[in-house]
Amino acid sequence: MSPSPLVVSDAVAAALESGRPVVALESTIISHGFPRPQNLAAARRFEQVLVDRGVTPATIAVVDGVPRIGLDEDGLTRIAEDPAVIKVSGRDLAVAMVQGITGATTVAATALLAARAGIRVFSTGGLGGVHRRAAESFDESADLTALSRLPVTVVSAGVKSILDIRATLERLETLGVPVLGYRTSRYPAFYVSDSGSDIDWRVESAEEIAAVMAQQDALGLQSAVLVANPLPPSRQLDPGLHDRVLADALAAAHRERVTGKAVTPFLLAYFQQHTHGASLEVNIDIAVANITLGAEIATAWAQRDRP
């Protein structure tokens, strides 16, 4: 058997070995989700949220062609500050490794590497999904198919509101990925708390989510469990402002012929500029809330295996 190509940090390896809680964190939120220099401060804050709750953070990225599960300070700084860092999805991992690329991992790549390392809980901001006009462009995030075959519980504030949320939920149903609303029966839309779509299953606690994970395992199911965790309405982006900026952003992307991987960063940057920074604050609130819930789920999961 070939040795694992993953490099797991000492802290993450020790936590996994002893059965202590670990939460995976993606790195594209650092490299492409926030402007410099706020992104490095945000990355440190996200890890500290976990440490303060007795949970080991495992920020994941590819550094010089090596998939790393848990970054040291130099690795975190490199992902945040190096403008040459690219986005790496699951399909890109092998090529990035061969070519010695430094890349920030998307949801799909982070979930894949977390699963390979034995990490069961992953917190992020928003998921990728089916893009608007996908019937013409066939533009659909690799996040969806990746999550259909990776046994990781992913906490997010829904899919980004720039996407076709109803179509995304339909695809998740087809792919057999369970979606749980954390104390809600309505699916969130990232910046705003309610997308207008219902969720079939509502859960009330981290312990209940851990129990669902255990039953997924008992049934031999290999898909992710998606936990939708909306911000309270008092902390969401003003819905009226959101709708106006979204319409303008979509028109600008179409006018400038932005396509593929460039769409999401373009639209997020447009939001940051045209909400005068309000969307950035909401984005940070979303990440912190999801990481906090991820810590609770990972702790509940770890406690299930203890006497």
If pLDDT is split at 50, 70 and 90, which confidence band does 273 have? confident
- Active-site amino acid positions: 26, 160
pLDDT above 60: residue 135: no
d(CA 221, CA 85): 35
Find residue 186's DSSP bridge partners: 198
CATH architecture of 7-304: 3-Layer(aba) Sandwich (3.40)
DSSP symbol at 231: P
Host H or E run for residue 122: strand 121-123
Nearest to 209 by CA among 122, 286, 108, 106: 122
State how far the alpha carbon of 155 is from the alpha carbons of 100, 244, 276, 281, in Å: 30, 27, 27, 19
Give the confidence band of 250 by pLDDT, cuts at 50, 70, 90. confident
pLDDT 10s digits, 77-125: 999 999 999 999 999 999 999 999 999 999 999 999 999 999 999 999 9
- 25 Ramachandran zone, left/alpha/beta (phi>0; psi -120 to 50): beta
Chain segment 3-49, per-residue pLDDT in tens = 678 999 999 999 999 999 999 999 999 998 888 888 999 999 999 99
Per-residue HEC secondary structure of 52-112 comes to: CCCCEEEEEEEECCEEEECCCHHHHHHHHHCCCCEEECHHHHHHHHHCCCCEEECHHHHHH
- Average pLDDT along the chain: 91
Give the pTM.
0.92
Q: How far apart are the C-alpha atoms of 296 and 250, rounded to whole Å?
A: 36
